[in-house]
């Protein structure tokens, strides 16, 4: 996925009210742009850090741009826009990059399912039956380690999705939790027990019920982002 039009470079002044970010462009322009990330962005955002944003010319938009990429204090790049994760995964699925999910004959997005009125990110059709795939975007990294973690804030919704997947798996339906790691310099992913122990327990319970857990990392620059390789999953840290 190439960024089009090209992203513009800026410096982060501050992020606030979760969805707003003040930036200064390389030309000295001061802007307030949209931050499309519901998480805490722990260990990612740093005031004065380098960012890249997409600019909109839509007169109906309240904000002139969207924060797309940032640079962590450790010098890693991360994708701020969690809305891109599903598009990246669909692109990788169609290209056969995610080897464990190749061979499907049909793909549907945002399909209603489950006992708790949920919607699955992808339902893949195979001759042997469907596979339900839930996608989570991962950006939480730590200084000095190539292991990322999820979540970066307490997520009751994430635990709900794991319960739904576990119900499917117990009924003999293929269920997959896929972590799209939108952070460079990462080799493995683990549950963030220290942030949300309930989510971590729900993940391990889901695996015990037969849910598959996959993690894939991206190649990321201010020009493009794409899923390129499988990462290890460390369920016990």
pTM exceeds 0.85 for this model = yes
The pLDDT score that the predictor gives to residue 143 is 87
Mean pLDDT of the chain: 96
21 pLDDT band (50/70/90 cuts)? very high
The pLDDT score that the predictor gives to residue 45 is 80
The pLDDT score that the predictor gives to residue 73 is 87
pLDDT at 237 over 80: no
pLDDT tens-digit map of 76-133: 999 999 989 999 999 999 999 999 999 999 999 999 999 999 999 999 999 999 999 9
User: Which segment of 31-40, 171-180, 200-209 scores lowest on mean pLDDT?
Assistant: 31-40
159 pLDDT band (50/70/90 cuts)? very high
pLDDT tens-digit map of 27-69: 999 999 999 998 899 998 888 999 999 999 888 889 999 999 9
What Rg do the C-alpha atoms of the chain give, in angstroms? 18
Helix/strand/coil (H, E, C) string of the chain? CECCCCCEEEEEEEEECCCEEEEEECCCCEEEEECCCCCCCCCCCCCCCEEEEEECCCCCCCCCEEEEEEECCCCCEEECCCCHHHHHHHHHHHHCCCHHHCCCCEEEEEEEECCCCEEEEEEEEECCEEEEEEEEEECEEECCEEEEEECCCCCHHHHHHHHHHHHHHHCCCEEEEEEEECECCCCEEEECCCCCHHHHHHHHHHHHCCCEEEEEEEEECCCEEEEEEEEEECCCC
Supply 158's token pair. 């994430």
14 pLDDT band (50/70/90 cuts)? very high
189 pLDDT band (50/70/90 cuts)? very high
Contact indicator for 142, 43 with CB cutoff of 8 Å: yes
Show the CA angle centred on residue 207, arms to residues 180 and 234, nearest 5°: 55
pLDDT at 172 over 90: yes
Pairing of strands 118-126, 106-113: antiparallel
Which of the two residues, 39 and 180, has the higher pLDDT score?
180
25/8 Cα distance (integer angstroms): 8
Rounded mean pLDDT of 217-233? 96
pLDDT at 178 over 90: yes
| Domains parsed from the chain with CATH numbers | 8-79 (2.40.50.580), 84-233 (3.40.1350.60)
Rounded mean pLDDT of 4-20? 94
């Amino acid at each position: 996925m190439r960024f089009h039009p090209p992203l513009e470079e800026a410096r982060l002044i501050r992020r606030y009210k979760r969805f707003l970010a003040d930036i200064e462009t390389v030309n000295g322009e001061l802007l307030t742009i949209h931050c499309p990330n519901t998480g805490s962005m722990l260990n990612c955002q740093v005031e004065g850090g380098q960012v890249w944003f997409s600019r909109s010319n839509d007169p109906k938009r309240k904000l002139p741009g969207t924060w797309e990429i940032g640079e962590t204090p450790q010098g890693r790049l991360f994708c701020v826009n969690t809305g891109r994760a599903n598009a990246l995964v669909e692109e990788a699925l169609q290209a056969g990059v995610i080897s464990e999910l190749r061979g499907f004959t049909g793909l549907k997005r945002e399909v209603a399912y489950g006992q708790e009125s949920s919607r699955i990110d992808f339902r893949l059709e195979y001759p042997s039956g469907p596979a339900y795939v839930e996608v989570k975007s991962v950006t939480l990294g730590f200084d000095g380690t190539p292991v990322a973690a999820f979540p970066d804030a307490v997520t009751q919704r994430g635990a709900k999705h794991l319960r739904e997947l576990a119900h499917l798996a117990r009924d003999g339906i293929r269920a997959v939790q896929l972590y799209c790691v939108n952070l460079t310099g990462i080799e493995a992913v683990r549950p963030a027990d220290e942030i949300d122990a309930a989510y971590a327990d729900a993940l391990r319970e889901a695996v015990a019920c037969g849910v598959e857990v996959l993690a894939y990392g991206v190649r990321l620059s201010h020009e493009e982002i794409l899923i390129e390789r499988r990462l290890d999953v460390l369920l016990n840290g």
